[in-house]
Chain A
Amino acid sequence: MADAKDTVPQQAEEGELEAHLHTKRMLINMGPSHPAMHGTVRTRVELEGETIVRAIPEIGFLHRGFQKSCENVTWNQCLPYTDRLNYVSALMNNFGFLKAVEMLCGITIPERAQYIRVIASELHRIHDHLTCVGSIGLELGGFAPFLYAIEGRELIMDRVTELTGARLTTSFGRVGGLNRDVPEGWAERVLKTLDKCHELIGEMDTLLTANRIFVDRMQGVGVITTEDALDFGFTGPCLRACGVPYDVRKARPYWVYERMAFDVPVGKNGDNFDRYLMRMEELKQSEAIVRQGLKDIPPGPVIVDDWRIALPPKSEVYGTIEGVIAHFKLVMEGVPVPAGEVYDSSEAANGELGWYLVSDGSGRPYKVHVRAPGFALLSGLPRMVEGRMLADLIPTFDTINMIGGEVEQ
């Protein structure tokens, strides 16, 4: 030891001789298999202590080639693919796609079909928001709100099953309207379901919104400025939480949304708590829309009366040669969508769901591109969490409510 000391230059400062601890940043993988990273997404997080220095979301674990698959099937056969985009609110994907195709065809669907589409869309908006809010509660450690949400969600799933025949992958609606009308007694059951959901949402509200721990963890966390949100292409509740009252249902009303009385909640802080509040308020507004829709829905056909677009009635198919031919051509060749291109969008649960469709006049799409709201939201995630703590990543990831299926095409 004494020898070692002699070799040290005389002028050495004390600080110079200290062996500084070698520190380095910790790189951890949140996902793709992680309890909070639902939707199978991976976030590579660089930590300094518990502070996030860098967060890089990586997608690709759910890639199924949606766009290419659509080019190989007829327009109506694309529907099952659209189910699997945002699988939490499949109906809105179905209808959004159909709306774009109908725009390309230049047809207007019957009023009753419009009402049913609005009602079913809003039911699935409740479904989607319940899932989101419930999982926020779950991942912050409150298991009870999650199960309340799941109970309401389950009831809505039952109603959707009665309507479409499937719980999750609805594949409902056809170009020109709907493939079937609502079942008998469905409206009454929906109203009862809404009553129950209202009660459950109230319970969740008392458990979460006024809870000091919950508010502390949400408020001022995951903030994004209005400018950044617009630059990233945020839409839906996440954009409205920043104070931009942009809602496709109000900005470019489609179907019968113009006749519905509903408010669009707008926040101002752009943080997790505002995003959460947007969803809680939209739950109530959606409920109001469904009630109005069920009250005002007129009788009538649910699909256009055009055998080039809609299947002819079965009696015609079995009884007349024209019916057989129309049926055959529609099934084998698809809806003859005129050549052209279109961009059309609707307000899905998480924002503007846009469709860019190109048709070459054959019965199959030439190109289908979907503008998924979740993609823009996920790309803004690093901006929201960098510099915050690791624990903040979880509620932020929850409130943007990215759905893996629609982000990866």
Chain B
Amino acid sequence: MNRTLKILSVAILLVPGVLFGISWAQYRVGGWLAESCPVFHTQLQLCDTGGTSLAWVSALLFHMLLFVMVLATLLTVAERKWSAFTQDRIGPERARIGPAWMRKHSFGGLPHVAADALKMIFKENTRPKAADRDRILFWLGPVLAFAPVFALAAVIPFGPTVPVNGYAISAQVANPNFGLLYVLAIASLAVYGTSLAGWASNSKFALLGGVRAASQMISYEVALGLSLVGMMVAFSTVQLPVLIGSAAAGTGQAQYLWQGSVLGLDFGVPAWGIFLQPLGFLLFFTAAFAETKRAPFDVPEGESEIIGYFLEYSGMKFGTFMISEFIEVVVLSALITAIFLGGWHLGFAGDVALAQGLGKSHPVLYGAFCGAVFAMKVVFLCWFQLIVRWTFPRFRYDQIMTLGWKVLLPLGLFNLFASAALVLLDPSLHWLAVAGLLEIAVLAGLTLTRKAPKSGSGHEAAGHGTPDVHALPAAAASAHH
């Protein structure tokens, strides 16, 4: 227990610091890039990158390659470590590297990242003979599973746009004016990877997995898109930075619905998506979970039934499937943060004060602070997904379809019409928020009032001391010697 506390306290100090550093470095490098390569100043017309030039490269480097990739890699260990906690085990700790003094410590299982990567890379890359016919598709499977998921991170703003060296530097690779539509479009491409893998493997189990994956992902695509429309309606935008808004200007999710002020600090209920659209949030979270194909939606994998669509893959090809699953977890957490959890804003207190104080005097520090807040929310959501994944058993294929089409879709439609009507009635979003808070109260009430435990679907116990021979099966009775 003591050791756990020690590790936790170190993590609580270290993690925000590292996240702050990443964000700070990104703004600095972005500023330097914008200054040193002004030739590209007007090159990117399609995407409004905040008026800067090559600064998007810094976002690509620091947020997509560093933050998303490294977090996804660390999640492979975090998942094992956290599942070990829930299951009363120690978890991975056997991989030891370095000089003797380092070998004495397990470092929370972190060296397993290296061990796993080495194992994946150096394992024999086999291809079943039956897959020779479709060797290009076989090769394309993992690529198509990985690429769209990773590309999703391009439109996610990992921090506010702040002025550095006279240039507006955003923490986003691209800010196209079709923001969320890009997310929906690219997310649906990921289904090709899994279904191609299932098809090209030319194995019955893999094919079943591929078919399951395709139908599941296509079904939940609908709910995924529908759950976001409410937020688009509320803020009349599909661009993520606009959706998150700015605390200084009081726009987007940064605005307060009900505001007070104590000692110069601002307090209030922010217009976060989770308050305006709790139903939309739940739907999106469920659908996003189904998109990641993790338990309880791991039907395409179903390792105890059909092993999964990647059955025939080995080495780094399998590793690509695995890592793309974790990247999807990170990216969807980031999306939920941006759309429903107020992005990089603290939320309940001090946002406006911070934006007007630190934001004016030290914009880069303010940006880095916001970046760290955003990243912490992402880490929290990733952890939350781990908990869910290790708590629930798996659905059955038809139950997943029923949930997707008969529950999520009608709920999504209802949510859309109801919120659209409420926004139409009251554009200041207060009615929508009241409805949302009511929804939260009802959901909390339903969750907390636990139904009386079922008395075992009517099983009664035969009283003790009464040998029940009257119901003895005839065969068994006569067999008695």
Q: Which A positions have Cβ atoms within 8 angstroms of B? A: 26, 28, 35-36, 50, 103, 137-144, 147-148, 151, 207-211, 213-214, 216-217, 219, 230, 233, 235, 239, 244-247, 250-253, 260-269, 273-274, 277-278, 281, 342-345, 352, 354, 389-394
CA distance A239 to B465 in the complex (A): 20
Minimum Cβ distance to chain B for residue A242 (Å): 11
Whether, in the assembled complex, B366 has its beta carbon less than 8 Å from a beta carbon of chain A, the answer is no
Within 8 Å CB of A139, what residues of B? 304-305
Q: Are A147 and B89 in contact (CB under 8 A)?
A: yes
- Cβ of B165 within 8 Å of any chain A Cβ, yes or no, is no
Q: A251-B469, A264-B461, A266-B462 are contacts. A137–B393 as well, Cβ < 8 Å?
A: yes
CB neighbours of B481 from chain A (8 A)? 103, 342-344
Complexed CA–CA distance, A390 and B464 (Å): 40
Q: What are the nearest 7 A-B pairs in CB distance? A: A141-B394, A263-B461, A140-B393, A139-B304, A142-B393, A147-B87, A36-B304
Give min CB distance, B330 to chain A, whole Å: 22
A115 CB to nearest B CB, Å: 18
Q: How far is the CB of A249 from chain B (nearest CB, A)?
A: 9
Q: A216-B396, A252-B467 given. 7 additional CB < 8 A pairs? A: A35-B303, A151-B88, A214-B393, A250-B468, A251-B468, A263-B463, A265-B461
What chain B residues lie within 8 Å of A148 (beta carbons)?
87-88
> Are B468 and A267 in contact, with the CB atoms below 8 A?
no
Q: Does B398 contact A (CB under 8 A)?
A: yes
B459 adjacent to A268 (CB under 8 Å): yes
CB neighbours (8 Å) of B457 from chain A are 219, 267-269, 273-274, 277
- Which residues of the other chain, B, contact A251 by a CB distance below 8 angstroms? 467-469, 472, 476
Interface SS of A by simple majority: mixed
Secondary structure dominating the interface of B: loop
A contact residues around B471 at 8 Å (CB): 244-246
What are the residues of chain B within 8 A of A389 when measuring CB–CB?
A: 396-398
Taking a contact as CB atoms under 8 Å apart, the answer to whether B391 and A144 are in contact is: yes
What residues on B are CB-neighbors of A233 within 8 Å?
475
B88:A352 contact, CB within 8 angstroms: no
B52-95 interface (Cβ within 8 A of A):
83, 86-89
| Interface residue ranges of B29-45 to A (CB < 8 Å) | none
Nearest chain A residue, comparing its CB with the CB of B87: A147
Which residues 113-137 in B have Cβ within 8 Å of A in the complex? Answer: none
A274 x B303 contact (CB < 8 A): no
If A36-B304, A217-B393, A250-B467 touch, whether A263 touches B462 (CB-CB below 8 Å) is yes
Alpha-carbon gap, A124 to B461, bound state (A): 22
The answer to whether residues A261 and B398 also contact, given A140-B393, A141-B392, A246-B473 and a CB cut-off of 8 A, is: no
Whether A235 lies near B476 (C-beta < 8 A) is: yes
Closest chain-B Cβ to A42's Cβ sits at a distance in Å of: 14
Residues of B within 8 A of A213 (CB): 296, 392-395, 399
User: Do residues A394 and B476 form an inter-chain contact, with CB atoms below 8 A?
Assistant: no
Does B406 lie at the interface of the complex (its beta carbon under 8 Å from any beta carbon of A)? no
What residue in chain B is nearest A253 (Cβ atoms)?
Answer: B467
Q: B459–A230 contact, CB under 8 A?
A: no
Q: Which of A35, A210, A278 contacts B453 (CB 8 A)?
A: A210
Contact B390 A144 (CB under 8 A): yes
- B391, B395, B475, B476 interface centre (most CB from chain A within 10 Å): B476
Determine the distance from Cα of A233 to Cα of B479 in the docked complex, in whole angstroms: 12
| Interchain CB contact under 8 A, A268 and B458 | yes
Which residues of B418-457 are within 8 A (CB) of A?
453-454, 456-457
CB distance from B408 to the nearest CB of A (A): 15
A244–B473 contact, CB under 8 A? yes
Shortest Cβ gap from B210 to chain A (Å): 13
Q: Does B360 contact A (CB under 8 A)?
A: no
Residues of chain A within 8 A (CB-CB) of B306 are 390
Which A residues lie within 8 Å of B464 (CB)?
260-263
B456 touches which of A246, A277, A345 (Cβ 8 Å): A277
Bound together, the chains give a CA A87 to CA B15 distance in angstroms of: 49
Q: How large is the interface on B (under 10, 10 to 19, 20 to 34, 35 or more residues)?
A: 35 or more
Bound-complex Cα distance A252 to B86 (A): 44
Q: Is B325 an interface residue when CB atoms closer than 8 A count as contact?
A: no
B105 at the interface (CB under 8 A from A): no
- Tell me whether B459 and A394 are in contact (CB under 8 A): no
A contact residues around B469 at 8 Å (CB): 251
Q: For the complex, is B413 an interface residue (Cβ under 8 Å from A)?
A: no
CB distance from A228 to the nearest CB of B (A): 12
Which residues of the other chain, A, contact B458 by a CB distance below 8 angstroms? 267-269
Between-chain CB contacts (< 8 Å), 21 pairs? A35-B304, A141-B296, A208-B393, A209-B456, A211-B392, A213-B394, A216-B399, A230-B474, A235-B473, A244-B471, A244-B473, A246-B468, A261-B465, A264-B462, A274-B459, A343-B480, A389-B398, A390-B397, A391-B302, A391-B397, A393-B305
Least CB separation from A262: chain B residue: B464
CB distance from B84 to the nearest CB of A (A): 9
B307 within 8 A of A: yes
Q: What is the CA–CA distance of A233 and B475 in the complex, to the nearest angstrom?
A: 8
Residue on A with the closest CB to B453?
Answer: A210
Contact A28–B205 (Cβ < 8 Å): yes
Report yes or no: B305 in contact with A143, Cβ–Cβ below 8 A: no
A277–B459 CB distance below 8 A? yes
Q: Is there a chain A Cβ closer than 8 Å to B351's Cβ?
A: no
The reply on B361 being an interface residue by CB < 8 A is no
Interface members, chain B 334-352 (any A CB < 8 Å): none
Q: Taking CB as reference atom, which chain A residue is nearest B307?
A: A35
Asked if B2 is at the interface (CB within 8 A of a chain A CB), the reply is no
Query: Is A140 a contact partner of B394 (Cβ separation < 8 A)?
Result: yes
Report the Cα distance A266→B467, complex, angstroms: 14
Q: Smallest CB-CB separation from A216: which chain B residue? A: B399
User: Smallest CB–CB gap between B111 and chain A, Å?
Assistant: 23
Select from chain A the residue with minimum beta-carbon distance to B86.
A144
Q: For the complex formed, measure the closest distance between the CB of B148 and the CB atoms of chain A, giving whole angstroms.
A: 26
- Tell me if B298 is interfacial: C-beta within 8 Å of chain A: yes
- CA A260 – CA B460 in complex, angstroms? 19
Q: Indicate if the CB atoms of B305 and A394 lie closer than 8 Å.
A: yes
**Bound complex: CA A26 to CA B83 (Å):** 36
Q: Is the CB of A345 within 8 A of B459?
A: no
| A143 and B83 contacting across the interface, CB-CB below 8 Å | yes
CB distance from B293 to the nearest CB of A (A): 12
Q: Is the CB of A217 within 8 A of B395?
A: yes
CA A137 – CA B307 in complex, angstroms?
A: 17
CB nearest neighbor in A for B306:
A390
Decide yes or no whether B208 CB sits under 8 A from chain A: yes
Report which of B298, B473, B480 forms a contact with A141, defined as CB distance below 8 A.
B298
Query: Shortest distance in angstroms between A26's beta carbon and chain B's nearest beta carbon?
Result: 6
Which residues of chain A are near B391, meaning CB under 8 Å?
142, 144, 207
* Distance, CA A58 to CA B383, complexed state (A): 44
A144 touches B87 (CB 8 A): yes
The answer to whether the Cβ of B22 comes within 8 Å of any Cβ in the partner chain is no
Chain B residue, CB-CB nearest to A49? B211
Across the interface, B459 reaches (CB within 8 A) one of A244, A262, A281, namely A281
Chain B residues whose C-beta falls within 8 Å of the C-beta of A390 in the assembled complex:
208, 305-306, 397
Whether B466 sits at the interface, judged by CB under 8 Å, is: yes
Cα distance, A113 to B83, chains bound together (Å):
43
What residues of A have a CB within 8 angstroms of the CB of B307 in the complex?
35
Residues of A within 8 A of B398 (CB): 50, 389
Q: How far is the CA of A230 from the CA of B472 in the complex (A)?
A: 10
Q: How far is the CA of A67 from the CA of B456 in the complex (A)?
A: 40
> Which residues of the partner chain A approach B155 to less than 8 Å between Cβ atoms?
none
Known: A50-B397, A143-B87. A267 touches B304 (CB 8 A): no
Nearest-CB distance from B288 to chain A (Å)?
18
Residues of B within 8 A of A267 (CB): 456-459
A219 to B306, CA, bound (A): 22
**Residues on the A chain within 8 Å of B204, using CB:** 26, 28
Let me know if B228 is at the binding interface, CB within 8 A. no
* A244 proximity list for chain B (CB < 8 A): 471, 473
CB-CB contacts of B291-315 with A at 8 A, as 1s and 0s? 0000110110011111100000000
Which positions 356-407 of chain B face chain A at CB distance < 8 Å? 390-399
